[in-house]
Structure 1
Amino acid sequence: MPPCSDAVPHRKNRLLAALEPEDFGVLEPHLEIVDLPKGGLVYDAGEFIRYTYFPHNAIVSLSTILKDGGTVEMALFGREGMFGLVSALMTRQSFGRYVTQVAGTASRVVVDRLIDVGRERPRALELMFRFTEALLAQTLQTVACNAVHSVEARCCRWILTTRDRVDRDALPLTHETLAEMLGVQRSTVSSVTRALQTAGLIQQGRGVITIINRAGLEQMSCECYRRIRRSFERLLPGTYGLAEQA
């Protein structure tokens, strides 16, 4: 992906913003800004990983590819974190398919440079480890969620987690995107979102879902939404969302 011409500050990513000034100063010269277009494939399963990405306002999903060609979400990445480091520490091969679900920008750094900075700056390394633990908690909770919770509850969780990462109620989400992330048919998502709209929780538009009643949407969501938020707030205070909403 080509570098972006607009110099979006690197610290729009909350993990980078959480670095101590001295640690960030060592990393900053190695960072560059890139565009992540909606639907763009960042890494495919098994692909060699060269860069670690720190999203600003983009949202990227990590999905596993099934034998029939279907996909199921394993993890979601936004301004609270990074992707492309954990799987690069050993094999340098991507665990799954990374696809941009909400377009935006990100800072990226060559993996080797980031590892060098971690070795040189222990506090930066600790922050990366904290994020890795939070990511593991998110991934395991998502696996459990996909196994036992209803499509309605999981759909509400996905809408809410997207809202937390973009800070606006009008979300650029399509039924196709939600179906892919939830591992269900598009018609199933259409039925679920229609019910949520009838209940006064959301308003649907062309390629946009607008949250009308956040509190009601949280009540409809499963417990996984809150558990994932709490994991991030415990390990990385202030990176995931606003503390007063946690």
Structure 2
Amino acid sequence: MSIRLDTNISPLKNHLLSALPITVYDRLSPFVELVKLALDDVIYEAGDKLIHVYFPVDTIIALSYVMECGSSAEISVVGNEGIVGIALFMGGESTASRAVVKSAGYAYRIKGHYFMEEFNRHGELLTLMLRYTQSLMTQMSQTAVCNRYHTIDQQLCRLLLLSLDRLPDNNIEMTQELIANMLGVRREGVTEAAGKLQKQGVISYHRGHITILDRQKLEALSCECYRVVKEETKRLLPDVSKDHKRATLSVYPDGRCT
């Protein structure tokens, strides 16, 4: 992973970093590093000891479980609402899932021992991380239910909406093969489902580029799983649309913040 030299992306575009009190944010800021994440970059494999926690800004990272045969299925997606690496502060230091970049972009990362120094103060960071973990567990549980009981059409709508909520605009970069792998279904099923959405004017799809044209209709076509996850996230986490009174970090060319 290489450091991005363009410094226009603020760490505050990650909702968790933005929600931190300024005193906590200022203690963490010297250890925040900007990284560029390419499609299919592996953040960690199952069983790896976690070295960093990642705060996505405009990228989507999928947490998935990989079977012995090589097949995989998505259990959750993380974007600008969250953090990747919860096993570090939950006490396990590793996890049975793998984390892979599914939409390229940028994130901020902090070395685990610096992050844990603040977490172990048993203050605002700990509370925020535990509440986020509960919202992530809701998404994982709802994904399992969705994959068991709902159609591929509904699963695709759910995935598109979750991805849309975690990106800065209405454009999603995901191939049909990638979506099929995330949902644990055949590519042909995704092709058919995407074709239906395109015919209804809900999305525009071309060569792995998806533009959401009618979000309201996409929500109507989705199952209740998306709404459950969205409402629980809203209940548990602060409203980042509110103005947080703090200065924006400056980012050096080597990725360090101050």
- Do both proteins adopt the same fold according to a TM-score greater than 0.5, normalized to the shorter chain? yes
Relative to the length of structure 1, the TM-score reads 0.92
Worse-superposed segment, 158-167 or 51-60: 158-167
Identity of aligned residues (%): 34
1:92 maps to amino acid: E
Distance across 1 between alignment mates of 2:11 and 2:122? 18
Distance across 2 between alignment mates of 1:89 and 1:170? 33
After superposition, the C-alpha distances for 1:182-230 in whole angstroms (9 at most, x for unaligned) are: 1011111111111111122111112111112211111110101111011
Match status 1:14 vs 2:18: no
Measured after TM superposition, the shift of residue 103 of structure 1 is: 0.7
After superposition, the C-alpha distances for 1:32-75 in whole angstroms (9 at most, x for unaligned) are: 11111111111111112100000000100000001321110011
Q: Quick check: 1:88–1:94 contact (8 Å CA) kept in 2? A: no
Distance across 2 between alignment mates of 1:161 and 1:17? 20
Q: Give 2:61's aligned residue.
A: 60
After superposition, the C-alpha distances for 1:56-97 in whole angstroms (9 at most, x for unaligned) are: 001000000013211100111000010113356433223311
| SS of residue matched to 2:120 | helix
In the TM superposition, 1:20-169 aligns within 5 A as 20-86=21-87, 89-120=90-121, 122-169=123-170
Match status 1:3 vs 2:7: no
Measured after TM superposition, the shift of residue 125 of structure 1 is: 1.2
Q: Quick check: 1:49–1:88 contact (8 Å CA) kept in 2? A: no
C-alpha RMSD of the superposition:
1.7
Distance across 2 between alignment mates of 1:11 and 1:167? 13
Distance across 2 between alignment mates of 1:87 and 1:27? 16
Aligned residues: 241
Distance across 1 between alignment mates of 2:18 and 2:72? 32
Q: Evaluate the alpha carbon distance shift between residue 149 and residue 87 of structure 1 in structure 2; reply closer, same or farther with a 3 A threshold.
A: farther
Distance across 2 between alignment mates of 1:116 and 1:17? 19
Distance across 2 between alignment mates of 1:94 and 1:121? 23
Distance across 2 between alignment mates of 1:214 and 1:227? 17
Distance across 1 between alignment mates of 2:88 and 2:127? 17
Relative to the length of structure 2, the TM-score reads 0.88
1:3 maps to amino acid: I
1:79 maps to amino acid: N
Measured after TM superposition, the shift of residue 25 of structure 1 is: 0.5
Q: Quick check: 1:30–1:109 contact (8 Å CA) kept in 2? A: yes
Q: Quick check: 1:77–1:83 contact (8 Å CA) kept in 2? A: yes
| SS of residue matched to 1:167 | coil
Q: Give 2:253's aligned residue.
A: none
Which runs of 5 or more structure 2 residues have no equivalent in the other structure? 243-258
Distance across 1 between alignment mates of 2:185 and 2:230? 24
